[in-house]
Structure 1
Amino acid sequence: MEWIPASGFQLRKAGVQFDAVRVDGDDGRRAADLLEHLTGGDPGPVVIEANGRRGVYFFLPPGSSAGRAWPSGATPFNACHGTVSYVPVPALHGNTWPLSWRCPPPADGRFVHPALLRSTVLALERLLSS
């Protein structure tokens, strides 16, 4: 996959080869846990950040995050309506700190399903607010 760097990590323009949605901190990790459970351990590509916001980046098919009402804790990255967004992408191996693949991209090029991710984040938001 040409969008994954050979070493370290690089910023990639969202909306070209993928869109992404970031959910920060423990909420992002809970969403990743639930998505892994719902998909039998294969939700599609997910990257976690070890510092700062401790963001969890869910990689979606290009153009799929636009036009959706994302929950307040989810930040979409895409190239719609004249916006330019960049997403950090780590290499598959080697020193990529502070980023790492929680779920590496599948060989078939599949991404996280946008509706499943949105439903998961909404369900967790409701659960945690009650």
Structure 2
Amino acid sequence: MTMTNAIHRPDWIPASGHQLRVAGVHFDAVRIQGVRGELVAERIIEVTDGDAGPIVCEAVGFRWMYFLLAPGEVRKHSWPLGVQRFGGKGDRTITYIGIPALDGNTWPLRWYSEPTPTAPFVDPGLLGAEAARRG
């Protein structure tokens, strides 16, 4: 018997709580604020039948949505206005992204969509198209 939704926990996801990880090492990140980010995330989850890849949501402040892409992907694409990108070679600044554990108390962060074996990262082409539609 195979488990279709077996727990997939890459080594950059903490076992408990949440930890900061440097963007551009284990993943690149695209950040979209508030309702726009939620709409983009919901659409990607819908289009991928719930297998959207890793999306982290902040519960406080600007309520940022962080879409995690494979390392090196953020610089290969152009992004619409209002979309912030983190990671990639040549960045002069180091950005830390908060990553929650898969369960337990991770406030103020939570998974909006978890990484899976079939979607270890968000598809950058799909993300860019949906971000542009919601711009």
Say whether the fold is shared (TM-score over 0.5). Answer: yes
* Equivalences, count: 125
Q: Percent identity?
A: 45
Matches within 5 A, 1:50-129: 50-83=59-92, 84-108=94-118, 110-125=120-135
For the residues of structure 1 that align with 2:121 and 2:80, how far apart are their CA atoms? 20
> Deviation per CA, 1:60-114, whole angstroms, max 9, x where unpaired?
0000001422111211110421432211100111110010011111035621011
Contact 1:22 1:57 in 2 (8 A): yes
* TM-score, normalization by structure 1: 0.90
Task: Give the superposed CA RMSD.
Answer: 1.3
Q: Which runs of 5 or more residues in structure 1 are unaligned?
A: 126-130
What is the match of residue 128 of structure 1? none
Runs of 4+ in 1 over 4 A off after TM superposition: none
* TM-score, normalization by structure 2: 0.87
When structure 1 is superposed on structure 2, of 60-69 and 25-34 the one drifting more is 60-69
